[in-house]
Homo-oligomer: A and B are copies of this chain.
Amino acid sequence: MKTMKVGMIGGGFMAKAHSLAMTAVPMFYEDDVRLEKHIIADIDEPSADAAAKKLGFSHSTSDWKTIINNPEVDIVDIVTPNHLHEEMAIAAAEAGKHIMCEKPLGRNAEETARILAAVDKAGVKHMVTFNYRRTPAVALAKKYIDEGAVGKILNFRGTYLQDWSADPGSPLSWRFDKDFAGSGTLGDIGTHVLDIAHYLVADIVEVNAMTRTWIDERPVQASQKDSLGNVKMPNGKKGQVTVDDELVTMLKFNNGAIGSLEATRNAWGRHNFLTFEIHGEKGSLFFNYERRDELQVCFSEDPEDRRGYKKVYTGGVHPYGEGLWPIPGLGIGYSEVKIIEMHEFLSAIMNDRVCEPSFKEGHRIAQVTDAILNSAEEQRWTKTNAHA
């Protein structure tokens, strides 16, 4: 069995999720490779050291370039704020490392084009971690579609609704700053739905969008650190929010289907409400990540008096089921989804195949994202192939 060494850049909650997946994946899937959590970089020595201890890395550093320059490291995993992705990913590619990078791949399509060029040139494996398509129920939707069970797709309706920053006392982290994040809800959560739309329906060719910043200033905190709503500073000095709180867009797909997407962080009572509904000529699909063990499906071919939306709980007979828990409903959590994602990455490396969603898809989504921002500014339909 092969062992590969990982260098991780970043020490936040996503570092935890990835680290867990790295350790757990051989327990779930018999990949012919083991990962060694070799080194982790964070903002300073104490943070890096603490992260290493907590997440099980052998070494730590406050200088991410140490990782790039370390010839022992096979895989670089980038879990930093968005503005750092480009430099890190290109450096890793040039050093010949395989790369996992958190979404969105870059702040805009110019960045992602350069990243994509670098990995293409280097010939390394690459994946952008749009993890939600790895939820077994989403993969089951893909399977049903591929089997023709819902027929030609007519319509896609996606939402990603959250409320962690609906309180104006939630501080001004990097996620609210265009320089760091590129965009707001669009890049942060909207891109997950765009990825699912590309995965399940087709390429998005034209968009028509509105964006709104509902809370235009927020309390300034000491760092750019992101508490994701778990800190409130109701009386702090305020600074400017420079990204969107909400996004609504219409979509046209290259197969003739149409659709819509709404993403917002101002939806009280919705937390990680990533949903989609797909209507095809022969059936419909509905998914809500907050109830992620289930896929709902309606097959028009059912007898008319026995027709309706059916709730399928994913288990052993569904995608990824052979490696998961033996009974549907035992529980798909964030851990399980990230484990499947890691399994896909390692399989791609071992079998020398492209790992989807690759940086190519990450770049394509950046093009769509740019078109959406452009459309919102110019208030008109905008083609997605006109950008970078």
B335 and A250 form a contact (CB under 8 A): no
Residue of B whose beta carbon sits closest to that of A1: B53
Tell me how many residues of A have a C-beta within 8 Å of chain B.
106
Nearest-neighbour CB distance to chain B for A158, whole angstroms, equals 12
CB of A123 closer than 8 Å to a CB of B: no
A312 and B306 form a contact (CB under 8 A): yes
Chain B residues within 8 Å of A299, by CB: 268, 306
Nearest-neighbour CB distance to chain B for A32, whole angstroms, equals 12
Chain B residues within 8 Å of A331, by CB: 272, 289, 292, 332-337
B269 and A326 form a contact (CB under 8 A): no
B304 and A308 form a contact (CB under 8 A): no
A310 and B313 form a contact (CB under 8 A): no
CB of A171 closer than 8 Å to a CB of B: no
Residue of B whose beta carbon sits closest to that of A291: B291
User: Of B210, B304, B316, which one neighbours A258 at CB under 8 angstroms?
Assistant: B210
B327 and A212 form a contact (CB under 8 A): no
CB of A260 closer than 8 Å to a CB of B: yes
Chain A 279-295 interface 0/1 with B at a Cβ cutoff of 8 Å (1 = within): 11111101001111110
CA of A13 to CA of B322, assembled, Å: 12
Nearest-neighbour CB distance to chain B for A125, whole angstroms, equals 24
23 A-B pairs within 8 Å (CB atoms) are namely A1-B53, A23-B24, A24-B24, A144-B306, A150-B268, A154-B214, A157-B159, A161-B279, A167-B300, A208-B250, A210-B250, A229-B316, A229-B326, A230-B316, A266-B279, A267-B277, A267-B284, A268-B299, A272-B330, A272-B331, A306-B310, A306-B312, A331-B332
